[in-house]
Structure 1
Amino acid sequence: MRTRRLLPAMVIAAAALALPACAPLTVGPATGVAARSFSPAFELQGRISASDGNQAASGRIEWRHGHGTDSFTLLTPLGQIAAALDADAGGARLRTADGQSLHAHSTEALLPRVLGTEVPVGRLSRWVQAAPDADAEVRSLDTAGRPAIVIDQGWRIEYLEYDGPAGDALPARIDISRGDARIRLVIDSWTALP
């Protein structure tokens, strides 16, 4: 009688011990991540393409990110200004090449009108530096210990290329996606600002 009671208890205990072995392994920030610095103010220039699965836009981007301010200039592949977006504590203002002027409470409300897809502007400044917030999940690292794949609020950020082999090198090519939304960014130049 006694062995019958112990057997189910032992099976349950063995199963409980085996479950953690079946859990998927993830590479988190504590496992060999190269030291990454975050610049709160910067200027970058590059090329961008964005798609929502139905429509797409591409061209050049110039982005100046400061303390509480953002200035985006989006240019056509031929170098003509397609749109300029400026944002600060007072809101966001968008001017398009065809003379339209739009105002909104935030950059997030206006930048999708230019690119044709949702853009996580609030997180983008960290993503372009491969310095995600602490609540983001670093899924894998490259051979230099830099983020290779990050999941942040449902967005997948893939670092396809860095600007050099050093552990603190900045990203050169980034692919950002969530569902049908996809943003590809190639950074040609980067300047940290005071």
Structure 2
Amino acid sequence: MSRRPPHRSQGLRRTLLGGACALLLAACTPTLVRDGAQPAARPFLPAFAVEGRLSATDGRNAASGRFEWVHDDEQDRLTLFSPLGQVVALLEGDPAGASLEAADGSRREAADVDALLPEALGVDLPAARLPRWIQAAPAADAEVRTLDDAGRPQLVFDQGWRIDYAGYADDTAAAAPQRLEISRGDARVRLIIDSWTALP
């Protein structure tokens, strides 16, 4: 029985090793372009009003209902409603501070919205990132892992959070998200967007 020449065996090992390294590097690449699609140019609204439905859980407690959020560079106003339409909480914030008013009339104040958002939603989301997440316009330092066929973000990782975009308002590249899920560990927030309004 003849033996394979050593140089061919070494070449095969180098080929396999090179292929394994290529696969490993591909697994570490933050942006994966699906089916040859290129990232779409995403609009970002600095001021907007959005309405929809949400459900939130920290792994132990869960809540659901409707929400209205008005945002611009200077202030935020987030109103949370029960499934029956009753106001559950009103969270307001501006450069001077933030306040949270509950349905029973009690009021809490803090230095910023981040300090009160966990009490309102039950999940400790980073308030400063939410305007970009809800528009599928991630910041430059976020990791866009996958794109859909229109080049829009489908899976994003940002500051330890996973943002899955399950649906957009239409098939155009600039369409606003309609369904998304934000999660980290046991914490999870699902949003269904019913309406968007760009503000001046």
TM-score of the pair, normalised by structure 1:
0.88
| Equivalent residue, structure 2, for 1:129 | 135
Amino acid at match of 2:31: G
SS class of match (2:46): coil
Residue 114 (structure 1) aligned with residue 120 (structure 2): yes
Q: CA RMSD in A?
A: 2.1
Share of identical aligned residues, percent?
Answer: 52
TM-score of the pair, normalised by structure 2:
0.86
SS class of match (1:158): strand
Aligned length: 185
2:65 to 59, 63, 66: 59
| Equivalent residue, structure 2, for 1:21 | 22
What CA distance in whole angstroms lies between the structure 2 residues aligned with 1:186 and 1:92?
26
| Equivalent residue, structure 1, for 2:4 | none
SS class of match (2:118): helix
Distance 1:103 1:152, change over 3 A: same
Q: How far did 1:28 drift?
A: 2.1
Mean Cα deviation higher: 156-165 or 117-126: 117-126
Q: How far did 1:99 drift?
A: 1.1
Q: How far did 1:124 drift?
A: 0.5
Amino acid at match of 2:57: S
| Equivalent residue, structure 1, for 2:94 | 88
**Matches for 1:1-194 after TM superposition, within 5 Å:** 14=14, 17=18, 20-23=21-24, 24-25=26-27, 26=29, 28=31, 32-194=38-200
What CA distance in whole angstroms lies between the structure 1 residues aligned with 2:171 and 2:19?
40
Unaligned runs of 5+ in 2: 1-6
Q: How far did 1:68 drift?
A: 2.3
Report if aligned partners of 1:38, 1:129 keep a CA contact under 8 Å in 2. yes
SS class of match (2:84): coil
Unaligned runs of 5+ in 1: 1-6
Mean Cα deviation higher: 109-118 or 56-65: 109-118
